[in-house]
Structure formats: structure tokens, C-alpha cells
Amino acid sequence: DAKTTQPPSMDCAEGRAANLPCNHSTISGNEYVYWYRQIHSQGPQYIIHGLKNNETNEMASLIITEDRKSSTLILPHATLRDTAVYYCIVRVYNTDKLIFGTGTRLQVFP
């Protein structure tokens, strides 16, 4: 099954860029990489997704390596409100299922 690997936790100073890595070495050629975040006791919030090219929106940037085996989510200027668990997810091949791992707990400190 498609699977992602993320560090369990990271720290980032407020105002600095937060770079969250994700390994998805088993990804299939036509599968998207999705990023979500979850603040305690709320539903996950969609951040961004991409296939091959780098993507940017108002929340973040997504950098996908050329071989597509890994990606990095970049929050350019982290704030205290960005403290959350961040999930990197890929689809299980040929299904409509996204598999969530345990994610990275990002702590932004003043």
C-alpha cells in the first residue's frame, strides 16, 4: 500500500520558515501528494496537494522531488497558530482511499 514517512515532531521559531519533510518512496506515477493539518479536536484542514510540479498557495508551498519519492511542505513565515499536526498523504493505488499516518507535530515557539 502507498505509505508516507514523517518525523514525529519538529520545532520552529515564530516568523521563520517551517520545512516539513515527507518520504513517499512507493508512490505511483499518477498519484497526488496531499498535505493536511489538524489542530486539537478539530477536523483536518486541507493545505495543498501536487502531482509533479511544485505548488504554492496562500497557505504554503509544496516542493516535490524530481523522482517524486519525497516532498517538503514549506510554511514561509510560521506563526503560533500554525502549531498543529501535519499529515502528508498519498492515495492507495487504484482506490479512492487516502491513508493517514501519525503525522508531524509542529510546535511554533515565540
Partner 1 sequence: DGGITQSPKYLFRKEGQNVTLSCEQNLNHDAMYWYRQDPGQGLRLIYYSQIVNDFQKGDIAEGYSVSREKKESFPLTVTSAQKNPTAFYLCASSIDGVGQGSPLHFGNGTRLTVT
The residues of the shown chain that bind partner 1, judged by CB under 8 A, are 32, 34, 36, 41-46, 49, 51, 87, 91, 94-103
Of 25 and 28, CB closest to partner 1 = 28
C-alpha cell at 106: 509542529
Of 67 and 94, CB closest to partner 1 = 94
Least CB distance to partner 1 at residue 85 (A): 9
CA angle (62 as vertex; 96, 30 as ends), nearest 5: 35
Distance between CA atoms of residues 56 and 82, nearest Å: 17
Least CB distance to partner 1 at residue 86 (A): 12
Least CB distance to partner 1 at residue 7 (A): 14
> For residue 20, which of 34, 31, 33, 6 has the smallest C-alpha distance?
6
